[in-house]
Amino acid sequence: MIEINGNKVVFTYCGEAENVFLKGDFNNFQPERMIAKREDLWVLEKEFPLNARFDYKFVVDGKEMLDAENPFVSEGGFGFSSELRMPRFHYPIATKYHKSIKHGRIAKYSVSDKIYFRYKRDIYIYIPPFTRKEKIALVFQDGLEYILFGAAKNTLDYLINKGKIPPVYGIFVDIRKDRRLKEYSDCSRYDEFILGRVVPFCERMLGFSFRKKFTVGVSLGGFVSVAAILKNPSEFAGAVSQSGVLLFKEDEDFSPLKNKKIYMDAGRYETRLDMSMNVVHTNKFFAKLFAKNGANVVVKLWNDGHSWGNWKAHLPFALEKLLGGKR
């Protein structure tokens, strides 16, 4: 159970236990001991900004549990978590399904790959409800999760209908979890796979070539989204990196990013991931280097953590910043 009074939150677990811990985005999912008021009552008080949002779980005698008294639940690649929504946090209207607007559709394909990673994977193509002469593609890493957890289709439908972004095609590239660290690494041929296999396949299915291409990704997917531009500056016009785990070297040549649009964000509570990276510091550091080399950089920090609730809530803002300007 949670009780919110202004910026103060009291977490309460009711039930007999030997030990109860609380973990969530706010402590980088490192278990924090709760205080036993009775043998069946455990509490912990914390303070957060009024517009914060976090995933959290109880750990009761070593077993992770959702908060049975909290109706808000978020889903991500590692299952379900309870969700804390502070009083001034609200998911943007763009993330919701709107019956009254025109909707795009998603077509699913299986793409074989005998050159780069040697396994068949699913590709999802979002076809917008409206079209225009200039064909623009957004290439999403962790594609299925962006659809399932990131509300990407609802977001694209709404932003396109409201004229906040031009009609765009979405290419959602799925990935096997056991291959993710390897494919999204700094020595991977992932960009070659996208340009040599995925984009040509989608263009054949749609019957035209894309005039502009942008990349979109979270965490390590944010890293490879920017890295793809560095390696292929003539192919990509810009990128969205949400909570990017940026593996670039400090002395890397970032001049290929000149005149590219780079949107970067992070949660203020992403200070220590499993790999001991401070995502906030890393993104601020590389944003300055990107801008110094001529990139058009937008950086935003949110009161959130390293989770799909964060990325879902802020994808509409990211896409407007990436694709804003002349329609």
pLDDT category of residue 327 using cuts at 50, 70 and 90: very low
Please tell me the predicted confidence (pLDDT) of residue 117. 85
Mean pLDDT calculated for residue range 300-305: 97
Query: Helix/strand/coil (H, E, C) string of the chain?
Result: CEEEECCEEEEEEECCCCCEEEEEHHHCCCCEECEEEECCEEEEEEECCCCCEEEEEEEECCEEECCCCCCCEEEECCEEEEEEECCCCCCCHHHCCCCCCCCCEEEEEEECCCCCCCCCEEEEEEECCCCCCCCEEEEECCHHHHHHCCCHHHHHHHHHHCCCCCCCEEEEECCCHHHHHHHCCCCCCHHHHHHHHHHHHHHHHHCCCCCEEEEEEECHHHHHHHHHHHHCCCCCCEEEEECCCCCCCCCCCCHHHCCCEEEEEEECCCCCCCCCCCHHHHHHHHHHHHHHCCCEEEEEEECCCCCHHHHHHHHHHHHHHHHCCCC
Instruction: Report domain extents, the chain.
Output: 2-85, 93-323
In this prediction, residue 116 carries a pLDDT of: 86
In the chain, % of residues over pLDDT 90: 88
pTM: 0.94
Report whether pLDDT(326) > 50.
no
| pLDDT (tens digit per residue) in 179-198 | 899 999 988 999 999 999 99
Per-residue pLDDT tens digits for 18-41: 999 999 999 999 999 999 998 899
Least confident range of 164-173, 183-192, 281-290: 183-192
2-85 is classed in which CATH architecture? Answer: Sandwich (2.60)
CATH topology of domain 93-323: Rossmann fold (3.40.50)
Residue range 274-278: mean pLDDT, rounded = 73
How much is the mean pLDDT over the chain? 94
